[in-house]
Structure 1
């Protein structure tokens, strides 16, 4: 057990970090493309003199290591590097310079907060153990955390504790939403391809059209979920896309595709939902004499807050002087931070971005720079609590 108090960020720190956040915002990169974003992060880390920086981790991931040189806990704080394939429509001066791509989820702000923590670690190393700042790639498509963990170098930084935050429009600015247990739902995309055979539109009976199967499947898929309250049995299926045949008048279709998102609170419930959905697809395809293929993508495990990690994060909230907000947990949205919880005690907090701010993933969203200071203090105080009690 060690007493460890990090310095506070200066006004100059906050101003420089806000400028950096806006620069990131101007130059968004999608999942798997974050090479320039990673380069900018590494350049910002350099003055903080980390003991080691791992680059190209699980793709374009960056891990900065601040090592005391003494045995102790490894504590990781994680942010995300990627942006979204959405056209920004806001009128901020630092709006995206890349058509069709924008930081509309706040990952630019999350990474800036981590860079602020890096400045403090550069001024006051941990008394024992080490601190890892993980700038993770490809969060938006659910592939980044898995790729980082699968990277052989991850074994060098595998944490005992892992912490993360996500800004939360709708919650009062600077407030904290946190509880032990489920924090974010598990989700995955399912692609269903139905295959029959085409026919002349004047003789549709000579082919095998997927039309009736599609008409049956779309509402039946959503009924597989049933929604309900956000408890252990919660399940939701959202049909997001469908297409069928060629866009012509003379040919009855022979192939169709349906995309849907499956969502549950727990990983066990996800396995059960997948089983129900796959049985429905097989039954429907057989009834209409169709072949079918199923593929899964954008796979997010459930994100569950460990009780002890949540206790440390709650202590960080209190020490940083942030108020708690009462909002329902878990969140319906997904976060691939949950994968880190399979090898570490982990917890994620939602940091209020303002009650009247546009929601994330909307064209006019912009991360509020007013959260940079509170976010840094939250993480620095969480680290102090972890080191003192762990």
Structure 2
């Protein structure tokens, strides 16, 4: 096992930082990879970084991406290298993903491209959707856009070192929908003198649940989940005049997510109009579906076979979302899974710890992709 990379992974695990606060994490990565003498180290603002290894000849650009951020979850693992930052932990495995890409830098440093470029992207703020958008808008990224882009995610509950692939949609698109309904407060003894959103909320929820079960409208899986409702204030003498509903919309296909969004808005606006309520709708944490390029999927499959790894093609995309979907809208890309074991706690569990014994598999697979595509 690569003890130096494992030590890096555990150091990153010990000092996690949440989305948009990954300053020291970025510094640690730069300090580590600097030893391997990339041709360029390009900052993406004050968080995020590109490491560029250049060939002598002009050619295509291949990029490998990993995530810098941790989650606002208290770790309960009891590990000697457990998080020292209260209420923050690497319980999604981004520490392991960073270690894999750092290990790739090790290998490339002694086997540099003869043509083209290979770029290692350490991206901030994946967990909150903002990271990929900010990276793609950064002029330093625009000047180094890839011809091919690859990334992986560890998958608990799957045989260790198994590679999970899918053509087309790999992970769901999703968005958070916030509905604000404004009427008029009144005395609770005289509700007819006000305009309460209470009945509107009941109608909206009922109609959304009917929409959720309609199998004729969508080409594939959709889901909407009511995650929060606020109605008025805790005052028994007041009939409410304001309400908010927060809903997560989710779909395997981007076209279905667009249709689902439109139909939900139609329901909300019709009910609000009937109930004489002002209505505002906004969105946050918008993730497009992660849509794999078939040719890139084939590249990963061949690399996995060259490494003697089992490959599984899943039939159904994952329900979770990933901001890698922003990259797949523009670039030839593949996002794939790396099995992390049946005993592995699930992602975002407070006792999660990335298994060190799959790091080498990730490094070797990325390296084979690099060799077979950029060096061929």
How does the TM-score come out when normalised to structure 2? Answer: 0.95
Give, in angstroms, the shift of residue 208 of structure 1: 1.1
- C-alpha distance after superposition, 1:69-117 (max 9, x if no partner): 3111100000001111222222222222222221111111101100000
Change (3 A) 1:195 1:107: same
| Residue 51 (str. 1) matches residue 34 (str. 2) | no
Give, in angstroms, the shift of residue 228 of structure 1: 6.3
| Residue 188 (str. 1) matches residue 175 (str. 2) | yes
The separation in 2 between residues aligned to 1:287 and 1:173, in whole angstroms, is 55
Which of 337, 343, 346 is the matching residue for 1:350?
Answer: 337
Q: How does 1:119-198 map to 2 (within 5 A)?
A: 119-198=106-185
Change (3 A) 1:59 1:150: farther
Give, in angstroms, the shift of residue 121 of structure 1: 1.1
Contact 1:17 1:116 in 2 (8 A): yes
Contact 1:227 1:236 in 2 (8 A): no
**What's the secondary structure of 1:314's corresponding residue?**
helix
| Residue 15 (str. 1) matches residue 18 (str. 2) | no
Contact 2:185 2:238 in 1 (8 A): yes
Give, in angstroms, the shift of residue 278 of structure 1: 0.3
**What's the secondary structure of 2:374's corresponding residue?**
helix
Give, in angstroms, the shift of residue 169 of structure 1: 0.6
Contact 1:185 1:332 in 2 (8 A): yes
| Residue 333 (str. 1) matches residue 317 (str. 2) | no
Change (3 A) 1:369 1:222: farther
Match of 1:34 in 2: 22
**What's the secondary structure of 2:321's corresponding residue?**
coil
Give, in angstroms, the shift of residue 349 of structure 1: 0.9
**What's the secondary structure of 1:308's corresponding residue?**
helix
* Larger deviation, residues 270-279 vs 81-90: 81-90
Match of 1:258 in 2: 245
Name stretches of at least 5 consecutive residues in structure 2 with no aligned partner: none
| Residue 112 (str. 1) matches residue 99 (str. 2) | yes
* Larger deviation, residues 213-222 vs 303-312: 213-222
The separation in 1 between residues aligned to 2:213 and 2:39, in whole angstroms, is 51
| Residue 366 (str. 1) matches residue 353 (str. 2) | yes
Contact 2:171 2:289 in 1 (8 A): yes
**What's the secondary structure of 1:39's corresponding residue?**
helix
Q: How does 1:286-297 map to 2 (within 5 A)?
A: 286-297=273-284
The separation in 1 between residues aligned to 2:239 and 2:45, in whole angstroms, is 45
Contact 1:165 1:351 in 2 (8 A): yes
Change (3 A) 1:227 1:241: farther
Match of 1:5 in 2: none
The separation in 2 between residues aligned to 1:260 and 1:98, in whole angstroms, is 31
Give, in angstroms, the shift of residue 194 of structure 1: 0.8
Change (3 A) 1:227 1:171: farther
**What's the secondary structure of 2:59's corresponding residue?**
coil
Which of 78, 82, 87 is the matching residue for 2:69?
Answer: 82
Change (3 A) 1:92 1:220: farther
Contact 1:59 1:147 in 2 (8 A): no
Aligned residues: 375
How does the TM-score come out when normalised to structure 1? Answer: 0.92
Change (3 A) 1:356 1:226: farther
**What's the secondary structure of 1:258's corresponding residue?**
strand
Change (3 A) 1:223 1:52: farther
The separation in 2 between residues aligned to 1:15 and 1:222, in whole angstroms, is 52
Aligned-CA RMSD value? 1.7
Q: How does 1:246-285 map to 2 (within 5 A)?
A: 246-285=233-272
